[in-house]
C-alpha cells in the first residue's frame, strides 16, 4: 500500500424512510386549533390513498385525483391547501415542521401512485401484445398442420 494512503472505511448505507408505507396521520395541534380556529380535522395517507375527516365527514380520495398540495407557512402554524376537483380543502393549525413532513409524504405518495399506474398500463399493454403473439403461433401451428396433411412436406 502506498505511503500515507489509508484503507477506505466502509460507507454505511443511509436508510431513508419510505413515505408511502404504512399509514401516516396529521391533525392540528391543540394550540393550533385554538389560535387558528381550524376546527377538528384529520388527514391520513394510506399508500396511494388520502383520507380526510372534517366536520364529521370522511372522504377517501385516490392521490391521483388530487391536484396538488400547497403549504403556506406561518410564524408557528401552516395552512395546507389540498386541491381537489370538488374544491380545495384548507387545513389550518398544523405546526410548520409537521406540515413540511406532510408535503414530502404527499409528494412521495403521488409519485408512487403515478409509478403504480404506469406499471398497470405497461402490464396491460404487455398482456395485449403477448395475446397477439399467442394467437399468431396458434394460427401458424394450425396452418402448418393443414399444409402437412394436404400436401406433405
Per residue in 46-60, pLDDT tens? 888 899 998 888 989
Q: Report all structural domains of the chain as residue ranges with CATH numbers, in order of start.
A: 23-115 (2.30.29.30)
User: Grid coordinates representing 71?
Assistant: 403549504
Query: What's the pLDDT tens digit per position in 6-53?
Result: 554 544 444 444 544 556 999 999 999 889 988 899 999 988 889 999
Q: Do 32 and 77 contact (CB within 8 A), yes or no?
A: yes
Mean pLDDT of the chain: 85
What is the spatial distance between Cα 113 and Cα 109, in angstroms, rounded to a whole number?
6
pLDDT score of 76 more than 60 = yes
What is the spatial distance between Cα 90 and Cα 43, in angstroms, rounded to a whole number?
11
pLDDT score of 1 more than 70 = no
What does the pLDDT read at residue 22?
53
User: Grid coordinates representing 150?
Assistant: 394436404
What is the spatial distance between Cα 96 and Cα 113, in angstroms, rounded to a whole number?
26
What does the pLDDT read at residue 56?
84
Amino acid at each position: 500500500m502506498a505511503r500515507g494512503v489509508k484503507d477506505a472505511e466502509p460507507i454505511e448505507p443511509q436508510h431513508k424512510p419510505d413515505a408511502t408505507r404504512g399509514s401516516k396521520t396529521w391533525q392540528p395541534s391543540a394550540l393550533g386549533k385554538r389560535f387558528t380556529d381550524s376546527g377538528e380535522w384529520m388527514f391520513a395517507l394510506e399508500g396511494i390513498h388520502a383520507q380526510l375527516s372534517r366536520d364529521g365527514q370522511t372522504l377517501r380520495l385516490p392521490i391521483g385525483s388530487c391536484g396538488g398540495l400547497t403549504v403556506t407557512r406561518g410564524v408557528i402554524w401552516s395552512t395546507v391547501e389540498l386541491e381537489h376537483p370538488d374544491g380545495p380543502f384548507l387545513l389550518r393549525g398544523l405546526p410548520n415542521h409537521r406540515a413540511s413532513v406532510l408535503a414530502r409524504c404527499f409528494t412521495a405518495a403521488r409519485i408512487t401512485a403515478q409509478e403504480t399506474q404506469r406499471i398497470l398500463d405497461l402490464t396491460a399493454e404487455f398482456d395485449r401484445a403477448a395475446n397477439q403473439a399467442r394467437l399468431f403461433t396458434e394460427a401458424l401451428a394450425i396452418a402448418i398442420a393443414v399444409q402437412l396433411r394436404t400436401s406433405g412436406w
